[in-house]
Structure 1
Amino acid sequence: MSTPNSTLRAVRMGLLMSQDEFARAIRDAGQRVGQHNDASKRLVQRWESGETAAPRPVYARALQAVTGLPIEALGFSMPVALAHVSDDGEGGHDLEDSPVGIPATNGVPAAQPAPARGNYSGVWLSTYEFYSSGRGDTFVGKHYVVLLQHGNRLTAQSLPGASLNPDSPLSIDLQLDGSTVTGTWTEQTAADGYYRGARYFGALQMLVEPTGRRMAGKWVGFGKEFDVNTGPWELRLMDASTSKATLGKYSRPPES
Protein backbone atom coordinates (compact mmCIF):
# COMPACT_ATOMS: atom_id res chain seq x y z
CA MET A 1 0.00 0.00 0.00
CA SER A 2 1.12 3.57 -0.69
CA THR A 3 2.17 5.69 2.27
CA PRO A 4 0.27 9.00 2.31
CA ASN A 5 2.41 12.12 2.04
CA SER A 6 1.15 13.86 5.17
CA THR A 7 4.05 16.35 5.00
CA LEU A 8 2.87 17.79 1.70
CA ARG A 9 -0.70 17.88 2.99
CA ALA A 10 0.45 19.77 6.10
CA VAL A 11 2.35 22.26 3.96
CA ARG A 12 -0.68 22.82 1.73
CA MET A 13 -2.98 23.27 4.72
CA GLY A 14 -0.44 25.61 6.28
CA LEU A 15 -0.77 27.78 3.17
CA LEU A 16 -4.58 27.78 3.65
CA MET A 17 -5.08 26.33 0.17
CA SER A 18 -7.55 23.74 -1.08
CA GLN A 19 -6.22 21.07 -3.44
CA ASP A 20 -7.70 23.04 -6.36
CA GLU A 21 -6.04 26.27 -5.21
CA PHE A 22 -2.72 24.49 -4.66
CA ALA A 23 -2.81 23.03 -8.18
CA ARG A 24 -3.60 26.49 -9.60
CA ALA A 25 -0.67 28.02 -7.70
CA ILE A 26 1.65 25.34 -9.10
CA ARG A 27 0.46 26.08 -12.65
CA ASP A 28 0.93 29.83 -12.09
CA ALA A 29 4.46 29.26 -10.71
CA GLY A 30 5.36 27.33 -13.85
CA GLN A 31 3.99 30.07 -16.08
CA ARG A 32 6.04 32.73 -14.29
CA VAL A 33 9.32 30.98 -15.14
CA GLY A 34 8.28 29.83 -18.61
CA GLN A 35 7.94 26.14 -17.64
CA HIS A 36 4.34 25.18 -18.35
CA ASN A 37 2.83 22.36 -16.29
CA ASP A 38 -0.59 20.72 -16.08
CA ALA A 39 -1.00 20.50 -12.31
CA SER A 40 -4.55 19.51 -11.34
CA LYS A 41 -6.51 18.67 -8.22
CA ARG A 42 -6.22 14.99 -9.16
CA LEU A 43 -2.41 15.28 -9.35
CA VAL A 44 -2.27 16.89 -5.90
CA GLN A 45 -4.47 14.05 -4.61
CA ARG A 46 -2.07 11.47 -6.08
CA TRP A 47 0.90 13.17 -4.40
CA GLU A 48 -0.83 13.41 -1.02
CA SER A 49 -2.12 9.83 -1.13
CA GLY A 50 1.34 8.50 -2.02
CA GLU A 51 0.02 7.08 -5.30
CA THR A 52 2.68 9.18 -7.05
CA ALA A 53 5.90 8.83 -5.05
CA ALA A 54 7.76 11.80 -6.58
CA PRO A 55 6.97 14.71 -8.91
CA ARG A 56 8.67 15.27 -12.24
CA PRO A 57 11.30 18.06 -12.17
CA VAL A 58 8.99 20.61 -13.81
CA TYR A 59 6.50 20.11 -10.96
CA ALA A 60 9.24 19.93 -8.32
CA ARG A 61 10.53 23.39 -9.26
CA ALA A 62 7.02 24.82 -9.10
CA LEU A 63 6.39 23.12 -5.75
CA GLN A 64 9.52 24.75 -4.33
CA ALA A 65 8.40 28.14 -5.63
CA VAL A 66 4.90 27.83 -4.14
CA THR A 67 5.89 26.41 -0.73
CA GLY A 68 9.23 28.15 -0.24
CA LEU A 69 10.69 24.80 0.85
CA PRO A 70 13.26 22.46 -0.75
CA ILE A 71 11.68 19.50 -2.53
CA GLU A 72 13.38 17.05 -0.13
CA ALA A 73 11.43 18.64 2.75
CA LEU A 74 8.04 17.96 1.14
CA GLY A 75 7.73 14.31 2.16
CA PHE A 76 8.05 12.49 -1.17
CA SER A 77 9.16 8.87 -0.76
CA MET A 78 11.41 8.83 -3.84
CA PRO A 79 14.21 11.29 -4.69
CA VAL A 80 13.73 14.00 -7.30
CA ALA A 81 16.49 14.93 -9.75
CA LEU A 82 16.89 18.46 -8.37
CA ALA A 83 16.53 17.47 -4.71
CA HIS A 84 20.10 18.40 -3.78
CA VAL A 85 20.43 21.56 -5.88
CA SER A 86 19.93 24.91 -4.17
CA ASP A 87 18.28 27.95 -5.72
CA ASP A 88 21.61 29.18 -7.09
CA GLY A 89 22.36 25.79 -8.69
CA GLU A 90 24.98 24.78 -6.14
CA GLY A 91 24.79 21.98 -3.62
CA GLY A 92 25.55 22.01 0.09
CA HIS A 93 24.23 23.89 3.08
CA ASP A 94 25.18 27.05 4.92
CA LEU A 95 26.98 26.97 8.26
CA GLU A 96 26.28 29.85 10.62
CA ASP A 97 26.41 30.28 14.36
CA SER A 98 22.87 28.92 14.66
CA PRO A 99 22.39 25.10 14.83
CA VAL A 100 22.28 23.23 11.55
CA GLY A 101 21.55 19.69 10.52
CA ILE A 102 22.90 16.37 11.63
CA PRO A 103 22.37 12.96 10.05
CA ALA A 104 18.96 11.51 10.87
CA THR A 105 20.35 7.96 11.22
CA ASN A 106 23.71 6.31 11.82
CA GLY A 107 23.13 3.20 9.73
CA VAL A 108 21.56 1.20 12.56
CA PRO A 109 18.15 -0.27 11.61
CA ALA A 110 15.37 1.65 13.34
CA ALA A 111 13.37 -0.13 16.00
CA GLN A 112 9.72 -0.79 15.27
CA PRO A 113 7.66 2.02 16.85
CA ALA A 114 5.07 1.32 19.50
CA PRO A 115 1.42 1.86 18.50
CA ALA A 116 0.34 5.50 18.44
CA ARG A 117 -1.79 6.68 21.35
CA GLY A 118 -4.39 9.35 20.76
CA ASN A 119 -4.36 11.86 17.93
CA TYR A 120 -2.16 14.95 18.06
CA SER A 121 -3.47 16.77 14.97
CA GLY A 122 -4.20 20.44 15.52
CA VAL A 123 -2.55 23.85 15.82
CA TRP A 124 0.45 23.92 18.16
CA LEU A 125 2.76 26.68 19.37
CA SER A 126 6.39 25.74 18.68
CA THR A 127 9.01 27.42 20.90
CA TYR A 128 12.77 26.83 20.90
CA GLU A 129 15.84 28.61 22.27
CA PHE A 130 19.29 28.95 20.72
CA TYR A 131 22.52 30.74 21.55
CA SER A 132 24.01 32.98 18.86
CA SER A 133 27.79 33.16 19.26
CA GLY A 134 27.90 36.01 16.72
CA ARG A 135 25.61 38.14 18.90
CA GLY A 136 26.60 36.74 22.28
CA ASP A 137 23.04 36.15 23.46
CA THR A 138 20.24 33.59 23.66
CA PHE A 139 17.22 33.99 21.37
CA VAL A 140 13.76 32.43 21.16
CA GLY A 141 12.06 31.20 17.98
CA LYS A 142 8.26 30.84 17.96
CA HIS A 143 5.86 29.58 15.28
CA TYR A 144 2.25 28.51 15.13
CA VAL A 145 2.30 25.19 13.26
CA VAL A 146 -0.41 22.90 11.91
CA LEU A 147 0.42 19.35 12.97
CA LEU A 148 -1.07 16.30 11.25
CA GLN A 149 -0.84 12.69 12.40
CA HIS A 150 -0.87 9.62 10.19
CA GLY A 151 -0.32 6.47 12.26
CA ASN A 152 2.96 6.96 14.13
CA ARG A 153 4.11 9.85 11.95
CA LEU A 154 3.66 13.51 12.91
CA THR A 155 4.33 16.31 10.45
CA ALA A 156 4.09 20.02 11.19
CA GLN A 157 4.32 23.12 9.02
CA SER A 158 4.28 26.72 10.19
CA LEU A 159 1.26 28.77 9.16
CA PRO A 160 1.73 31.79 6.88
CA GLY A 161 2.88 34.85 8.79
CA ALA A 162 2.85 32.84 12.04
CA SER A 163 6.48 33.17 13.13
CA LEU A 164 7.96 35.51 15.72
CA ASN A 165 10.53 36.52 13.11
CA PRO A 166 8.91 37.30 9.72
CA ASP A 167 9.37 35.00 6.73
CA SER A 168 11.00 32.04 8.50
CA PRO A 169 8.88 28.96 7.58
CA LEU A 170 9.45 25.91 9.77
CA SER A 171 8.84 22.21 8.95
CA ILE A 172 9.00 19.35 11.47
CA ASP A 173 8.90 15.61 10.72
CA LEU A 174 8.55 13.29 13.74
CA GLN A 175 8.09 9.60 14.54
CA LEU A 176 5.94 8.71 17.54
CA ASP A 177 7.00 5.79 19.77
CA GLY A 178 4.84 5.59 22.88
CA SER A 179 5.35 8.93 24.63
CA THR A 180 8.58 9.73 22.74
CA VAL A 181 8.76 11.71 19.50
CA THR A 182 11.97 11.83 17.49
CA GLY A 183 12.75 13.44 14.15
CA THR A 184 14.08 16.44 12.25
CA TRP A 185 13.27 20.08 11.56
CA THR A 186 14.02 22.55 8.78
CA GLU A 187 13.80 26.34 8.95
CA GLN A 188 14.29 28.84 6.13
CA THR A 189 15.42 32.17 7.54
CA ALA A 190 14.32 35.52 6.16
CA ALA A 191 16.35 36.81 3.21
CA ASP A 192 16.72 40.24 4.83
CA GLY A 193 17.31 38.92 8.37
CA TYR A 194 20.46 38.31 10.38
CA TYR A 195 21.07 34.89 8.78
CA ARG A 196 20.48 36.23 5.24
CA GLY A 197 18.13 33.52 3.99
CA ALA A 198 20.21 30.56 5.18
CA ARG A 199 18.39 27.23 5.50
CA TYR A 200 18.98 25.26 8.70
CA PHE A 201 18.39 21.62 9.61
CA GLY A 202 18.44 19.83 12.93
CA ALA A 203 17.41 16.81 14.96
CA LEU A 204 14.77 16.87 17.68
CA GLN A 205 13.59 14.56 20.46
CA MET A 206 10.74 15.28 22.86
CA LEU A 207 8.47 13.55 25.38
CA VAL A 208 4.69 13.88 25.24
CA GLU A 209 3.09 14.82 28.54
CA PRO A 210 0.28 12.49 29.78
CA THR A 211 -2.31 15.17 28.98
CA GLY A 212 -1.29 15.03 25.30
CA ARG A 213 -1.28 18.82 25.19
CA ARG A 214 2.47 19.48 25.44
CA MET A 215 5.67 17.95 24.03
CA ALA A 216 9.00 19.06 25.46
CA GLY A 217 12.60 18.12 24.77
CA LYS A 218 15.72 19.33 22.99
CA TRP A 219 17.21 19.95 19.59
CA VAL A 220 20.84 19.20 18.70
CA GLY A 221 22.98 20.54 15.87
CA PHE A 222 26.34 21.90 14.78
CA GLY A 223 27.68 25.45 15.13
CA LYS A 224 30.07 27.24 12.76
CA GLU A 225 33.08 25.88 14.67
CA PHE A 226 31.67 22.33 14.27
CA ASP A 227 30.88 22.17 17.96
CA VAL A 228 27.67 20.44 19.00
CA ASN A 229 24.96 22.82 20.20
CA THR A 230 21.68 22.01 21.91
CA GLY A 231 18.73 23.80 23.48
CA PRO A 232 15.14 23.37 24.69
CA TRP A 233 12.18 22.96 22.34
CA GLU A 234 8.51 22.53 23.13
CA LEU A 235 5.22 22.16 21.30
CA ARG A 236 2.07 23.30 23.11
CA LEU A 237 -1.42 22.50 21.79
CA MET A 238 -3.49 25.59 21.03
CA ASP A 239 -6.48 24.09 19.19
CA ALA A 240 -7.30 20.49 18.17
CA SER A 241 -9.12 21.72 15.05
CA THR A 242 -7.47 21.97 11.62
CA SER A 243 -10.39 23.72 9.94
CA LYS A 244 -9.69 26.59 7.57
CA ALA A 245 -11.20 29.04 10.07
CA THR A 246 -8.89 27.80 12.84
CA LEU A 247 -5.81 27.96 10.63
CA GLY A 248 -6.76 31.49 9.63
CA LYS A 249 -7.09 32.45 13.31
CA TYR A 250 -3.48 31.40 13.99
CA SER A 251 -1.93 32.81 10.81
CA ARG A 252 -0.33 35.60 12.82
CA PRO A 253 2.92 36.07 14.77
CA PRO A 254 2.91 34.55 18.29
CA GLU A 255 3.38 36.88 21.21
CA SER A 256 7.02 37.55 22.09
Structure 2
Amino acid sequence: MATPNSTLRAVRLGLLMSQDEFARAVRDAGTRAGQPNDANKRLVQRWESGKTGAPRPVYARALETVTGLPIESLGFACSVPLARVAGDGHGGYDMEPTTPTIPAGPKSEAQPGRRNHSGVWLSRYEYFSSGRDAAFVGQHYVVILQHGNRLTARSLPGSSDSPLTMDLEIDGHVATGTWTEQTATDGYYRGARYHGAIQLLVEPTGRRMTGKWVGFGKEFDVNTGPWQLTFQDASTNKATLAAYNKRPDA
Protein backbone atom coordinates (compact mmCIF):
# COMPACT_ATOMS: atom_id res chain seq x y z
CA MET A 1 0.00 0.00 0.00
CA ALA A 2 1.37 3.40 -1.01
CA THR A 3 2.19 5.89 1.74
CA PRO A 4 0.46 9.26 1.19
CA ASN A 5 2.76 12.23 0.66
CA SER A 6 1.38 14.43 3.42
CA THR A 7 4.32 16.83 3.13
CA LEU A 8 3.57 17.78 -0.47
CA ARG A 9 -0.12 18.15 0.35
CA ALA A 10 0.71 20.42 3.31
CA VAL A 11 2.97 22.57 1.11
CA ARG A 12 0.23 22.88 -1.53
CA LEU A 13 -2.37 23.84 1.07
CA GLY A 14 0.09 26.32 2.55
CA LEU A 15 0.21 27.98 -0.87
CA LEU A 16 -3.61 28.17 -0.79
CA MET A 17 -3.85 26.21 -4.05
CA SER A 18 -6.31 23.56 -5.15
CA GLN A 19 -4.91 20.53 -6.95
CA ASP A 20 -5.97 22.07 -10.27
CA GLU A 21 -4.27 25.36 -9.44
CA PHE A 22 -1.12 23.57 -8.28
CA ALA A 23 -0.96 21.57 -11.50
CA ARG A 24 -1.39 24.77 -13.53
CA ALA A 25 1.42 26.43 -11.57
CA VAL A 26 3.71 23.45 -12.28
CA ARG A 27 2.89 23.67 -16.00
CA ASP A 28 3.51 27.43 -16.03
CA ALA A 29 6.85 27.01 -14.25
CA GLY A 30 7.95 24.47 -16.83
CA THR A 31 6.92 26.71 -19.71
CA ARG A 32 8.83 29.68 -18.27
CA ALA A 33 11.94 27.52 -17.88
CA GLY A 34 11.71 26.21 -21.44
CA GLN A 35 10.94 22.70 -20.16
CA PRO A 36 7.18 22.23 -20.74
CA ASN A 37 5.36 19.49 -18.84
CA ASP A 38 1.89 17.98 -18.77
CA ALA A 39 1.05 18.31 -15.07
CA ASN A 40 -2.65 17.93 -14.31
CA LYS A 41 -4.89 17.35 -11.32
CA ARG A 42 -4.64 13.57 -11.70
CA LEU A 43 -0.84 13.71 -11.52
CA VAL A 44 -0.96 15.87 -8.37
CA GLN A 45 -3.35 13.33 -6.86
CA ARG A 46 -0.90 10.51 -7.66
CA TRP A 47 1.93 12.42 -6.03
CA GLU A 48 -0.06 13.18 -2.89
CA SER A 49 -1.46 9.65 -2.61
CA GLY A 50 2.01 8.16 -2.92
CA LYS A 51 1.10 6.14 -6.02
CA THR A 52 3.91 7.97 -7.83
CA GLY A 53 6.93 7.74 -5.55
CA ALA A 54 9.02 10.39 -7.29
CA PRO A 55 8.42 12.90 -10.09
CA ARG A 56 10.42 12.87 -13.29
CA PRO A 57 13.18 15.52 -13.32
CA VAL A 58 11.19 17.77 -15.65
CA TYR A 59 8.46 17.90 -13.00
CA ALA A 60 10.92 18.04 -10.09
CA ARG A 61 12.45 21.28 -11.37
CA ALA A 62 9.02 22.85 -11.81
CA LEU A 63 7.97 21.70 -8.33
CA GLU A 64 11.03 23.38 -6.82
CA THR A 65 10.18 26.61 -8.64
CA VAL A 66 6.54 26.60 -7.50
CA THR A 67 7.17 25.64 -3.87
CA GLY A 68 10.55 27.31 -3.37
CA LEU A 69 11.79 24.13 -1.66
CA PRO A 70 14.32 21.50 -2.78
CA ILE A 71 12.72 18.34 -4.11
CA GLU A 72 14.27 16.37 -1.21
CA SER A 73 12.05 18.35 1.19
CA LEU A 74 8.75 17.65 -0.58
CA GLY A 75 8.09 14.26 0.96
CA PHE A 76 8.68 11.92 -1.98
CA ALA A 77 9.53 8.38 -0.90
CA CYS A 78 11.92 7.69 -3.77
CA SER A 79 14.91 9.81 -4.73
CA VAL A 80 14.71 11.86 -7.89
CA PRO A 81 17.61 11.25 -10.31
CA LEU A 82 19.71 14.32 -10.97
CA ALA A 83 19.56 15.00 -14.66
CA ARG A 84 19.49 17.75 -17.23
CA VAL A 85 16.27 17.58 -19.19
CA ALA A 86 16.70 18.54 -22.84
CA GLY A 87 13.95 18.84 -25.40
CA ASP A 88 14.38 16.39 -28.29
CA GLY A 89 12.43 18.50 -30.74
CA HIS A 90 9.50 16.09 -30.82
CA GLY A 91 7.80 16.96 -27.55
CA GLY A 92 9.82 14.38 -25.61
CA TYR A 93 12.81 14.71 -23.30
CA ASP A 94 16.23 13.14 -23.08
CA MET A 95 17.79 12.49 -19.70
CA GLU A 96 21.46 13.41 -19.45
CA PRO A 97 23.37 12.87 -16.18
CA THR A 98 24.86 16.03 -14.79
CA THR A 99 26.59 17.38 -11.72
CA PRO A 100 24.17 18.37 -8.94
CA THR A 101 23.62 22.10 -8.80
CA ILE A 102 22.43 22.00 -5.19
CA PRO A 103 25.18 20.63 -2.94
CA ALA A 104 24.13 18.33 -0.12
CA GLY A 105 25.85 17.23 3.03
CA PRO A 106 27.66 19.17 5.74
CA LYS A 107 27.98 22.92 5.74
CA SER A 108 30.13 24.22 2.89
CA GLU A 109 31.60 27.62 2.18
CA ALA A 110 30.60 29.68 -0.83
CA GLN A 111 33.44 29.84 -3.30
CA PRO A 112 34.56 33.10 -4.92
CA GLY A 113 32.90 33.56 -8.27
CA ARG A 114 30.39 30.74 -7.80
CA ARG A 115 27.52 30.99 -10.26
CA ASN A 116 24.88 28.98 -8.46
CA HIS A 117 23.26 30.76 -5.53
CA SER A 118 21.14 27.88 -4.22
CA GLY A 119 21.26 27.44 -0.47
CA VAL A 120 20.20 29.06 2.78
CA TRP A 121 20.51 32.84 3.08
CA LEU A 122 19.74 35.37 5.79
CA SER A 123 17.32 38.01 4.50
CA ARG A 124 17.33 41.38 6.27
CA TYR A 125 15.39 44.47 5.24
CA GLU A 126 14.63 47.78 6.91
CA TYR A 127 11.40 49.78 6.84
CA PHE A 128 9.91 52.84 8.50
CA SER A 129 6.50 52.61 10.15
CA SER A 130 4.73 55.94 9.89
CA GLY A 131 2.03 54.73 12.31
CA ARG A 132 4.63 54.03 14.99
CA ASP A 133 7.07 56.74 13.90
CA ALA A 134 10.02 54.34 14.11
CA ALA A 135 12.30 52.21 11.93
CA PHE A 136 12.16 48.40 12.09
CA VAL A 137 14.07 45.42 10.72
CA GLY A 138 12.55 42.28 9.18
CA GLN A 139 14.64 39.10 9.18
CA HIS A 140 14.06 35.64 7.71
CA TYR A 141 16.13 32.60 6.84
CA VAL A 142 15.23 31.88 3.22
CA VAL A 143 15.92 28.97 0.89
CA ILE A 144 17.09 30.13 -2.54
CA LEU A 145 16.86 27.73 -5.47
CA GLN A 146 18.37 28.62 -8.83
CA HIS A 147 17.22 27.29 -12.18
CA GLY A 148 19.12 28.91 -15.01
CA ASN A 149 18.95 32.66 -14.42
CA ARG A 150 15.89 32.47 -12.16
CA LEU A 151 16.04 32.53 -8.38
CA THR A 152 13.15 31.63 -6.09
CA ALA A 153 13.39 32.44 -2.39
CA ARG A 154 11.00 31.14 0.28
CA SER A 155 11.33 31.77 4.00
CA LEU A 156 11.60 28.84 6.38
CA PRO A 157 8.38 28.71 8.43
CA GLY A 158 10.09 28.84 11.82
CA SER A 159 12.17 31.92 10.99
CA SER A 160 9.26 34.39 11.16
CA ASP A 161 5.52 34.70 11.68
CA SER A 162 5.34 36.56 8.34
CA PRO A 163 6.10 34.23 5.36
CA LEU A 164 8.26 35.86 2.70
CA THR A 165 8.75 34.96 -0.96
CA MET A 166 10.93 36.44 -3.69
CA ASP A 167 11.08 35.69 -7.40
CA LEU A 168 14.17 37.08 -9.10
CA GLU A 169 15.95 37.00 -12.44
CA ILE A 170 19.71 37.34 -12.37
CA ASP A 171 21.69 39.07 -15.11
CA GLY A 172 25.41 39.13 -14.38
CA HIS A 173 25.73 40.69 -10.94
CA VAL A 174 22.22 42.18 -10.89
CA ALA A 175 19.15 40.37 -9.53
CA THR A 176 15.76 41.96 -10.21
CA GLY A 177 12.29 40.79 -9.32
CA THR A 178 9.40 40.90 -6.87
CA TRP A 179 8.78 40.16 -3.20
CA THR A 180 5.67 39.25 -1.21
CA GLU A 181 5.16 39.09 2.56
CA GLN A 182 2.07 37.85 4.38
CA THR A 183 2.16 39.57 7.76
CA ALA A 184 1.20 37.80 10.98
CA THR A 185 -2.50 37.84 11.78
CA ASP A 186 -1.83 38.83 15.39
CA GLY A 187 0.81 41.43 14.53
CA TYR A 188 0.67 45.17 14.00
CA TYR A 189 -0.34 44.81 10.35
CA ARG A 190 -3.08 42.24 11.16
CA GLY A 191 -2.39 39.74 8.39
CA ALA A 192 -2.12 42.27 5.56
CA ARG A 193 -0.35 41.08 2.42
CA TYR A 194 2.34 43.40 1.08
CA HIS A 195 4.30 43.09 -2.14
CA GLY A 196 6.57 45.11 -4.37
CA ALA A 197 9.75 45.16 -6.44
CA ILE A 198 13.36 44.56 -5.49
CA GLN A 199 16.78 44.94 -7.13
CA LEU A 200 19.98 43.55 -5.65
CA LEU A 201 23.65 43.67 -6.60
CA VAL A 202 25.46 40.35 -6.15
CA GLU A 203 28.98 40.68 -4.76
CA PRO A 204 31.68 38.91 -6.83
CA THR A 205 32.28 36.43 -4.01
CA GLY A 206 28.68 35.27 -4.21
CA ARG A 207 28.28 35.63 -0.45
CA ARG A 208 26.14 38.76 -0.30
CA MET A 209 23.41 40.56 -2.23
CA THR A 210 22.55 44.14 -1.36
CA GLY A 211 20.02 46.54 -2.79
CA LYS A 212 16.66 48.23 -2.34
CA TRP A 213 13.03 47.28 -2.10
CA VAL A 214 10.02 49.35 -3.11
CA GLY A 215 6.42 48.76 -2.09
CA PHE A 216 3.19 50.36 -0.94
CA GLY A 217 2.63 51.26 2.69
CA LYS A 218 -0.23 51.13 5.15
CA GLU A 219 -0.98 54.81 4.60
CA PHE A 220 -1.37 54.35 0.81
CA ASP A 221 2.08 55.66 0.04
CA VAL A 222 5.03 54.09 -1.79
CA ASN A 223 8.02 53.31 0.42
CA THR A 224 11.54 52.04 -0.12
CA GLY A 225 14.43 50.80 1.99
CA PRO A 226 17.62 48.69 2.06
CA TRP A 227 17.54 44.92 1.64
CA GLN A 228 20.41 42.50 2.12
CA LEU A 229 20.83 38.75 1.64
CA THR A 230 23.81 37.08 3.32
CA PHE A 231 24.90 33.56 2.38
CA GLN A 232 24.74 30.97 5.16
CA ASP A 233 24.98 27.44 3.74
CA ALA A 234 25.05 25.84 0.28
CA SER A 235 23.30 22.68 1.47
CA THR A 236 19.53 22.33 1.21
CA ASN A 237 19.16 18.88 2.75
CA LYS A 238 16.65 18.23 5.51
CA ALA A 239 19.17 18.50 8.34
CA THR A 240 20.38 21.90 7.17
CA LEU A 241 16.88 23.29 6.70
CA ALA A 242 15.93 22.04 10.16
CA ALA A 243 18.98 23.77 11.65
CA TYR A 244 17.94 27.12 10.14
CA ASN A 245 14.23 26.74 10.81
CA LYS A 246 14.41 29.25 13.67
CA ARG A 247 14.29 32.97 14.21
CA PRO A 248 17.54 34.63 13.05
CA ASP A 249 17.91 36.48 16.37
CA ALA A 250 17.38 33.32 18.45
TM tier relative to shorter chain = 0.5 to 0.7
Which residue pairs with 1:141 in the alignment? 138
The reply to whether residue 22 of structure 1 matches residue 7 of structure 2 is: yes
Query: Does 2:149 correspond to 1:152?
Result: yes
Of the two, which has the highest radius of gyration? Answer: 2
1:229 positional shift: 1.4
1:190/1:55 CA distance change after superposition, 3 Å: farther
User: Is the 8 Å Cα contact of residues 47 and 53 (structure 1) preserved in structure 2?
Assistant: no
- Match of 2:204, SS state, is coil
**Alignment gaps of 5+ in structure 2:** 31-35, 46-64, 68-112
Quick check: 1:217–1:232 contact (8 Å CA) kept in 2? yes
Which whole-Å CA distance do the structure 2 matches of 1:26 and 1:232 have between them? 30
Q: Return closer, same or farther for 1:55/1:247 CA change in 2, 3 Å cut-off.
A: same
Residue 179 (str. 1) matches residue 173 (str. 2): yes
2:107 equivalent in structure 1: none
Aligned-residue Cα RMSD (Å) equals 3.7
What is the identity, as a one-letter code, of the residue corresponding to 2:121? Answer: W
- Structure 1 residue matching 2:247: 3-state secondary structure: coil
* Distance 1:43-1:183 versus aligned 2 partners, 3 A rule: closer
Q: Is residue 174–residue 182 contact of structure 1 (8 Å, CA) maintained in 2?
A: yes
**Contact conserved, 1:23 with 1:44, CA < 8 A, in 2?**
no
Q: Distance in 2 between matches of 1:180 and 1:144?
A: 21
CA distance in 1, matches of 2:19, 2:167: 28
Alignment of 1:40-55 (within 5 A): 51-52=37-38
Runs of at least 4 residues of structure 1 off by over 4 A?
42-50, 52-56
CA distance in 2, matches of 1:37, 1:175: 27
Q: Does the aligned pair in 2 maintain the 1:202–1:219 contact within 8 Å?
A: yes
Cα-to-partner distance string for 1:18-51 (whole Å, 9 max, x where unaligned): x933344379x6xxxxxx979xxx9998787552
AA matched with 1:236? T
Partners of 2:181 and 2:28 in 1: CA distance:
23
> Does the residue aligned with 2:239 lie in a helix, a strand or coil?
helix
Distance change (3 Å), C-alpha of 1:225 and 1:160: closer
CA distance in 2: counterparts of 1:162 and 1:174, whole angstroms = 21
**Cα shift readout 1:158-198 (whole Å, capped 9, x = no counterpart):** 001112xxx20000000000000000000001101000000
Cα 1:148–1:232, aligned 2, differ >3 Å: closer, same or farther?
same
* Compared CA separation, residues 134 and 37, structure 1 to 2 (3 A): closer
Partner residue of 1:125? Answer: 122
User: Match for residue 207 of structure 2?
Assistant: 213
> Percent of aligned positions with the same letter in both sequences?
64
8 Å contact kept, 1:47–1:54: no
With CA pairs under 8 Å and 6+ residues apart, which has the higher RCO, 1 or 2? Answer: 1
Q: Which consecutive unaligned segments of at least 5 residues does structure 1 have?
A: 1-18, 30-35, 60-73, 77-115
CA separation in 1, counterparts of 2:158 and 2:10?
Answer: 18
Structure 1 residues 255 and 184, CA gap change in structure 2 (3 angstroms): same
